């Protein structure tokens, strides 16, 4: 069985490789290995020969094989480079026996991987279940295996009942899901990255919260995480060969999980994505699809956009959070779009009752959400998705924005900020507002805030006094001072509107200056 030269070079890394000549490790496969030059005339490009430089026959350099040379004599790299053989030069202190053992172990590991791949493929052909595949993997790896889905909920395990002193495994096996602290550590681990050099990260080492090291394989289908297979370093250390076998087992499980999973939500996901991309815009066609896909929605609709704030492990975290959000709202209308989660949220009333607990969920997962205004037809989904996205970005510009930003609260600031590109928005500040701000600053009074509370409560003195926690007569005195200082006519609704707008503008300007 062939072993890639790249694997052999990796095995020899700790033995101080001095230089490579004529080497293309990605394209070279090794089938034969020998020590010394005996019979070299019949060697081919798939032969690896271990030899000392002092013992080498120069004719050997013209054979198209691969030479691992212990450089125990003086040599010229220029002379060696003019050869047909591929050369790996090792430092003189390298031990020949250790080198030979490392290479033979690589052949044995590759043979083991080949034998295991045949067993796994045969098991798949015979219709093995996920549990049977894990049992077979446990026999091969001799370390416990635990399979969880993208929301880190339990799917299956093998060997897990035999372990002790590993509370997180015991929790998962008894409760059916990974506990919150461990899930957070996994999804926000700064040492994990989405991709290596032009390839997916297939395995991740996890340490810290566990008493044993754990190697986690990512079960992927077209780059999309389906599950995670955890290999606990319990019975013996995990080798490079074990890591390769874990990846192979993940690939087999990906086929099994993809075939076993239903596609009941894929049509809904495609439909919602088409609405956001505006590939579907005919009202009648959209309503027809809504009926075909069985989207029985309440009257009040909202678009919700959820952003992961720390930017680490976004791919895995998105699929993890998608499942969490689906369970939280008990809705399947959650999709991944432009690197964020987008929810078509329907509600029986115009109030979203889960907002308080939803904010806690966002806090726990370091996310922020934007929520659109209410709408009533699916063909308006794209427009309100834009509102939710705008709410997110607007909240970043305004002080005091929390984890949830609603476009209802931000529509006026959005209008003002959009207008800022056309003119100096300070011109929108009404003179009455400027006057009251100056009086408050000079006298230490609260006339402007009193005026705003009075307007918001429809000039009801009782409600306003209660809201401000002041006596009724104190409120009447403040209102008389406002009229005296500004000449304001409370029957002038246009002026009252401009005052409210001016206060919003002033808040935005003050926020920019902080």
- Tell whether 252 and 172 lie within a shared domain: yes
Query: Strands 47-52, 66-70: parallel, antiparallel or unpaired by DSSP?
Result: parallel
Task: Please tell me the predicted confidence (pLDDT) of residue 138.
Answer: 94
Radius of gyration of the chain (CA): 34
pLDDT of residue 413: 78
Residue 362 lies in a domain: yes
Q: For residues 181 and 239, state if they share a domain.
A: yes
Which strands form 86-90's sheet, in the order they lie side by side?
17-21, 86-90, 66-70, 47-52, 32-35
Residue 212 and residue 284 share a domain: no
Residue 25 lies in a domain: yes
Chain centroid to Cα 159, Å, comes to 30
* 121 within some domain: no
* CATH at 495: 1.10.10.2840
Question: What local confidence, expressed as pLDDT, does residue 27 receive?
Answer: 60
Domain boundary among 260, 286, 309: 260
Q: Please indicate, yes or no, if residue 8 is contained in any of the structural domains.
A: yes
Q: Residue 318's domain is classified under what CATH number?
A: 3.30.70.270
Residue 255 within a domain: yes
- Is 291 found in the same domain as 234? no
CATH of the domain at 143: 3.30.450.40
Instruction: Give yes or no: residues 25 and 77 share one domain.
Output: yes
pLDDT of 375 reads 95
Domain that residue 491 falls in? 425-513
Q: Are 435 and 413 contained in the same domain?
A: no
Quick one: pLDDT at residue 236? 93
Q: Are 396 and 303 part of one and the same domain?
A: yes
Would residue 118 count as lying in a domain?
A: no
For residues 53 and 152, state if they share a domain: no
232 and 317 inside one domain: no
User: Which pLDDT value is given to residue 380?
Assistant: 94
Residue 164: per-residue pLDDT: 87
Q: Half-sphere exposure (CA, 13 Å, Cβ side) for 2?
A: 12
Total domain count, the chain: 4
**146 and 249 both lie in a single domain:** yes
The C-alpha atoms of residue 158 and residue 146 are separated, in whole angstroms, by 7
C-alpha span between 327 and 299 (Å, rounded): 21
The pLDDT value given to residue 196? 45
Per-residue pLDDT of the chain (514 residues; tens, 9 = 90+): 577 777 777 777 776 666 666 666 656 778 888 888 777 777 877 888 888 888 887 788 778 888 888 888 877 666 666 777 778 888 788 888 888 888 888 888 888 888 899 999 999 889 888 999 999 999 999 999 999 888 788 889 999 888 888 888 988 888 887 877 777 776 665 555 444 444 567 888 888 788 999 999 999 888 888 889 999 999 999 988 899 999 999 999 998 887 655 444 567 888 898 899 888 788 888 888 888 777 888 899 999 999 998 766 577 888 888 988 988 888 889 999 998 999 999 988 888 878 888 999 999 888 999 999 999 999 999 999 999 999 998 888 776 678 999 998 888 777 777 776 666 777 777 888 888 888 888 888 899 999 889 888 999 989 999 999 999 899 999 999 998 888 888 888 888 888 887 887 777 776 555 4
Predicted pLDDT at 16 = 62
Under DSSP, the state recorded for 344 is E
CATH at residue 53? 3.40.1390.20
**Same-domain status, 136 and 212:** yes
Q: How much is the pTM?
A: 0.63
- Residue 158 and residue 242 share a domain: yes
Q: How many CA atoms lie within 13 A of 510 on its CB side?
A: 11
């Amino acid at each position: 069985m062939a072993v890639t030269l790249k694997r052999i070079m990796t095995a020899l890394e700790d033995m101080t490789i001095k230089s490579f000549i004529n080497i293309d490790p990605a394209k070279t496969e090794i089938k034969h290995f020998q020590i010394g030059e005996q019979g070299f005339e019949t060697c081919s490009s798939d032969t690896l020969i271990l030899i000392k430089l002092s013992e080498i026959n120069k004719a050997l350099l013209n054979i198209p094989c691969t030479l691992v040379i212990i450089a125990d004599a003086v040599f010229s790299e220029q002379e060696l480079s003019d050869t047909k053989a591929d050369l790996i030069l090792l430092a003189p202190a390298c031990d020949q026996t250790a080198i030979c053992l490392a290479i033979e172990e690589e052949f044995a590991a590759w043979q083991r991987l080949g034998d295991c791949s045949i067993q796994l493929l045969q098991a798949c052909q015979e219709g093995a279940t996920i549990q049977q595949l894990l049992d077979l993997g446990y026999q091969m790896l001799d370390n416990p295996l635990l399979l969880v889905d993208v929301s880190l909920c339990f799917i299956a395990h093998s060997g897990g009942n035999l372990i002790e002193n590993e509370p997180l495994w015991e929790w998962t096996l008894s409760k059916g899901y990974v506990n919150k602290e461990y899930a957070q550590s996994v999804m926000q681990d700064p040492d994990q990255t989405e991709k290596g050099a032009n390839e997916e990260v297939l395995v991740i080492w996890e340490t810290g919260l566990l008493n044993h090291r754990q190697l986690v394989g990512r079960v992927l289908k077209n780059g999309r995480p389906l599950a995670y297979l955890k290999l606990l370093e319990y019975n013996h250390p995990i080798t490079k060969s074990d890591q390769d076998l874990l990846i192979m087992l993940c690939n087999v499980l990906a086929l099994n999980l993809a075939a076993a999973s239903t596609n009941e939500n894929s049509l809904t996901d495609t439909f919602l994505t088409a609405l956001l991309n505006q590939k579907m815009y005919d009202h009648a066609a959209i309503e027809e699809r809504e009926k075909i896909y069985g989207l029985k929605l309440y009257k009040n609709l909202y678009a919700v956009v959820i952003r992961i704030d720390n930017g680490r492990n976004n791919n895995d975290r998105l699929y993890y959070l998608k499942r969490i959000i689906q369970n939280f709202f008990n809705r399947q209308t959650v999709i991944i779009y432009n690197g964020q989660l987008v929810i078509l949220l329907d509600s029986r009333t115009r109030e979203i009752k889960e907002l308080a607990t939803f904010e806690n969920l966002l806090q726990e997962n370091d996310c922020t959400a934007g929520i659109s205004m209410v709408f009533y037809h699916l063909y308006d989904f794209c427009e309100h998705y834009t509102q939710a996205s705008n709410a997110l970005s607007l909240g970043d510009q305004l002080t005091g924005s929390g984890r949830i930003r609603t476009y209802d609260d931000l529509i006026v600031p959005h209008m003002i900020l959009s207008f800022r590109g056309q003119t100096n928005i300070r011109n929108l500040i009404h003179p009455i507002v400027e006057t009251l701000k100056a009086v408050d600053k000079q006298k230490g009074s609260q006339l402007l805030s009193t005026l705003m509370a009075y307007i918001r409560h429809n000039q009801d003195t009782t409600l306003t006094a209660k809201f401000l926690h002041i006596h009724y007569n104190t409120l009447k005195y403040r209102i008389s001072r406002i009229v005296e200082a500004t000449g304001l006519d409370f029957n002038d609704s246009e002026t009252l509107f401009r005052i409210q707008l001016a206060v919003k503008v002033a808040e935005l300007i003050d926020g920019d200056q902080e």
